[in-house]
Amino acid sequence: MDLAALIVAIVAILVSLFVAIIQYNKEIKLNRINLESVYINEIYKEYLITGLPNARKHLHITPDGQLLYIDKLVNELNSMRQSSLYYLYNDKEFYNRLKNNCQLMEDFLVDMSSKEILGEDQVEFYNKIQSQMKDIYKVVNEKFMGKKF
């Protein structure tokens, strides 16, 4: 009977130790996610809530199909990319995804500013801008939620 009690006690200690290690690792991971969310909030809050949407609303296509006022959105995207330099050293994959999405949108805007956008092309243009903005928001939101890239 004493041997059985000893075995049960050892197993209980091992299980408790195992649970403690798992809990410790979860706490470390949660602390990292919380710290990252503070950084993300500090860096990107202004861009996501006001900067990008306000710059986007200035885009205008004239009746003759010329795209105007891209500078505000291009500058906002460039500023967002510059503000992301911390992640070049901390999470290069996230930085590269965000940088590439911003650059794709900038390139698209510059390219379209030299073309006539008429009729259905205007709808396609605005849909593409919407899609590209969603991609940028998605990358930042995934990082905020702790997704590894």
- Kindly state whether residue 22 falls inside one of the protein's structural domains: no
Contacts of 78 (CB under 8 A, 6+ apart): 102, 106
- How far is 112 from 135, CA to CA, in rounded Å? 19
* Residue 51 domain boundaries: 41-144
Q: Is residue 81 part of a domain?
A: yes
Establish if 36 belongs to a structural domain: no
Q: How many residues does the chain have?
A: 149
Amino acid at 12: A
Residue 33 belongs to a domain: no
**Global confidence as pTM:** 0.80
Q: What single-letter DSSP state applies at residue 61?
A: E
| Distance of alpha carbon 142 from alpha carbon 33, whole angstroms | 11
Segment 92-116, tens digit of pLDDT? 999 999 999 999 999 999 999 999 9
Summarize the confidence of residues 26-32 as an average pLDDT: 87
103 inside domain: yes
In a domain, 101, yes or no: yes
Determine phi and psi for 144, rounding to 5 degrees. Answer: -60, -35
Cβ partners under 8 Å of residue 3, min gap 6: none
Quick check: is 107 in a domain? yes
Total domains present in the chain:
1
Q: Which two tokens stand for residue 43?
A: 């860096």
Work out the pLDDT band at 1, boundaries 50, 70, 90.
Answer: low
Q: How confident is the model at residue 134 (pLDDT cuts 50, 70, 90)?
A: very high
The tokens for 8 are 């049960």
**Is 32 contained in some domain?**
no
